[in-house]
Amino acid sequence: MGEAPAFLVDDLQNEPLNGFELKSGTCKTTTTIGDKTYVIGGADDGTLSIEVRIFDSSLGEWVQPTVYGTKPLLSKGHSAVFLNDRILILKKGAKSDDQIWFLEVDTQYVRRQQKQLGTEVVAWSKGVIGNVEKPVVISGPSGVGKGTLISMLMKEFPAMFGFSVSHTTRAPRGTEKDGVHYHFTEKSVMEKEIEDGKFLEFASVHGNLYGTSVEAVEVVADAGKRCILDIDVQGARSVRSSSLEAIFIFVCPPSMEELEKRLRDRGTETEEQILKRLRNAAAEIEQGKSSKIFDFILYNDNLEECYEKLKKLLGLSGCVAAPPKSAALREFNLPLDHSVSKIDDKIIINCISSGLEKESKNLIMLDVSTLKGGAPGRTRGLDFQAIGSFSDGLIGMEKLS
Ligand SMILES: Nc1nc2c(ncn2[C@@H]2O[C@H](COP(=O)(O)OP(=O)(O)O)[C@@H](O)[C@H]2O)c(=O)[nH]1
Ligand SMILES: Nc1ncnc2c1ncn2[C@@H]1O[C@H](COP(=O)(O)OP(=O)(O)O)[C@@H](O)[C@H]1O
C-alpha cells in the first residue's frame, strides 16, 4: 500500500486507459479488471525492472502484490492487452527473445498462491514463440530403461525434444559428462541454491540429492523444444503440484528379476548401490502404480515395443522427424512505433516504419488461442504471422512459419 502519485489517481479516476501508456512519459500502462487496476511499468524509485502496483477501487487503496517469476527489464515502453486470466505485455524496442511477456493475474497458479499467502499475487512469465507440446516427466525404478528410452527419443527427434539436465550430488559414471547428463554438484552448493529458490523440485534418492533447476527447464523452452524430465516419484509429485503442466509417464519393469539383471548387466553401480536401488524399487513401483501422479504406465519388456508405445502416447506414431524450426518463426521484431488491438484470440499489431521515401505498415497477428503452461517463467504456444504489409495500398499475405 502507499500514496499514489497524483497524476495516477487523476488518470485512473477520469478515464479507462486499458493498454495505453499514461501521459506522464514514465512508460506505465494501466489495465482494469473488475475492481482492480494493474499499473505496470517503471517504478519511481529508479528500479530497472518492470514493476506492478494494483489500485483496488472497491477499497480505494493501493496494493503492493507479491510478485513471482523473473521480472522483465524496463524497455522504452510497452503495450498491455488483457487476455482472460493474464495480461500480455509487448515490450517496445526489446530484443526478439525479450519482447513478449505475460503477467498472470488470475491463472490457476496465481489463485492457488493467493489462497495460500492470503495476499494479492501476480506472476511473470516470458512468452515463447512456437507450438511446443507439454513437457514429459518420465519416472521409474533405477535400471528400468528410462535413460535408454529417452536417448532413443532424442536421437530420432533431435529438433523436437530437449533434456532437462538435473543437478545431482552423486559422482559421475565413466561416460557421463558434466552439464550433459547431469550438473554434478557439491551438496552444500546445491542446498544453498535450493534455499535460494532456484529449483523447481528436488529429492533425496538412493542417498544422494537430485533436483531440477528452473533454469534447466527454461533453457529447453527457450530453444523451442519439448522438455523431457527423468526424475523420481517424489520429484514427479512435486512437479505435479507445481505450475508446470506436463504429461507424467511411469515406466515399470516386466519383473523384479529382470530389473536386477538389467542393473547388474549395466555394470555402473557397486554391489551396495545395486542392493539399495533394488530395495527402493519395490516402493517406487508401488507408488508409481497406485498414486494419482501418473497419466500413463508403460511396461518396458521388449524395448522396441515399449518405445513404439511411448511414441504413440506422445502423438509421434508413424511420425517423420520434423525438420528444425525455421528461424523466422522465432524471430519477431517489434518496432517502437506500433499499435495493438485484440480480435477474439488474435492480437493484431500494426507496425509503422518510415523509410526515406514512404511510410510502410506491417500487420502482424499474434495467436494466443493455444497458450500453455505458465510458470516456471515461460508461457508457451504463441504463434505469429505476418498478415499484411502495405506501403502502396497493397496487402500481401505471408506466413512466417
Ligand atoms: N527428483 C528428482 N529425481 C531425479 C532427478 N534426476 C534424476 N533423478 C532420479 O534419480 C534416480 C537415480 O538416477 P541416476 O543416479 O541417474 O541412476 P539410474 O536411474 O540408475 O540411471 C532416478 O530415479 C532418476 O529418475 C531430479 O532432478 N529430480
Ligand atoms: N527393454 C529392455 N530390455 C533389456 N534391456 C534393457 C531394456 N531397456 C533398457 N535396457 C538396458 O537396461 C539397462 C538400464 O537401462 P537404463 O536406461 O540405464 O535405465 P534407467 O535410466 O531407468 O536407470 C541398460 O543397460 C539398458 O541397455
pLDDT in tens, 197-248: 899 999 999 999 999 999 999 888 888 788 999 999 999 999 998 878 899 9
Torsion, Cα 129 134 139 143, to 10 degrees, reads -60
pLDDT digit string, tens, across residues 91-111: 988 887 788 999 999 988 899
pTM, full prediction: 0.70
Rounded Cα distance, 286 and 349, in Å: 52
ipTM above 0.85, yes or no: yes
Q: Which residues are catalytic?
A: 173, 266, 277
Percent of the chain with pLDDT over 70: 81
Ligand nearest to the CA of 263: 2
Question: Which of 138, 139, 148, 153 for a ligand 2 pocket mutation test, highest count of atoms within 8 Å of Cβ?
Answer: 148
Query: What is the dihedral sign for C-alpha 324, 326, 327, 330?
Result: negative
Residues 64/79, Cβ–Cβ less than 8 Å? no
Residues 359/351, Cβ–Cβ less than 8 Å? no
User: Strands, DSSP E only, in 206-280?
Assistant: 208-213, 226-230, 247-252
What pLDDT is recorded for position 386? 73
- With a 6 A CB cut-off, is 243 part of the ligand 1 pocket? no
**Bond from prior residue into 135 cis (ω within 30 degrees of 0):** no
**Rg over CA atoms, the chain:** 24
The minimum-distance atom of ligand 1 relative to the CA of 139 is 25
Q: What's the 74 CA to ligand 2 centre distance in angstroms?
A: 49
The minimum-distance atom of ligand 2 relative to the CA of 306 is 1
Q: How do 78-83 and 86-91 pair as beta strands?
A: antiparallel
- For ligand 1, atom 26, name the residue with the nearest CA: 211
Whether 364 has a pLDDT exceeding 90, the answer reads no
Helix (H, G, I), strand (E, B) or coil at 250: strand
What pLDDT is recorded for position 168? 98
Which has more confidence, 392 or 341? 341
**Residue 325 binned pLDDT confidence (cut-offs 50, 70, 90):** very low
CB-based burial label for 42 (10 Å; 0-12, 13-18, 19+): middle
Q: 10 Å Cβ neighbour count for 14?
A: 8
The minimum-distance atom of ligand 2 relative to the CA of 144 is 22
Q: What's the 148 CA to ligand 2 centre distance in angstroms?
A: 6
Which has more confidence, 95 or 265? 265
Show the ligand 2 pocket: residues with CB < 6 angstroms: 140, 142-148, 262, 265-266, 300, 303, 306
- For ligand 1, atom 21, name the residue with the nearest CA: 142
What pLDDT is recorded for position 398? 36
Q: What is the grid cell recorded at 130?
A: 512456437
Cell 511411448, residue? 310
DSSP secondary structure letter of residue 253: -
- H or E, element range at 54: strand 50-56
- With a 6 A CB cut-off, is 379 part of the ligand 1 pocket? no
- With a 6 A CB cut-off, is 376 part of the ligand 1 pocket? no
Ligand nearest to the CA of 145: 2
One-letter amino acid for residue 159 of the chain = A
Q: What's the 290 CA to ligand 2 centre distance in angstroms?
A: 23
31 alpha-carbon distance from chain centroid: 24
Rounded Cα distance, 73 and 47, in Å: 9
Q: What's the 252 CA to ligand 2 centre distance in angstroms?
A: 11
pLDDT digit string, tens, across residues 339-349: 888 888 888 88
Which has more confidence, 76 or 392? 76
Percent of the chain with pLDDT over 90: 54
Instruction: Please give the span between the terminal C-alpha atoms of the chain, in angstroms, as a whole number.
Output: 46
Rounded Cα distance, 102 and 90, in Å: 9
Ligand nearest to the CA of 252: 2
Q: What is the grid cell recorded at 308?
A: 513404439
The minimum-distance atom of ligand 1 relative to the CA of 212 is 27
- For ligand 2, atom 25, name the residue with the nearest CA: 266
The pLDDT mean for the chain works out to 83
237 alpha-carbon distance from chain centroid: 18
- Contacts for 347-350: CB closer than 8 Å, 24+ residues apart: 347/81, 347/88, 347/90, 348/387, 349/90
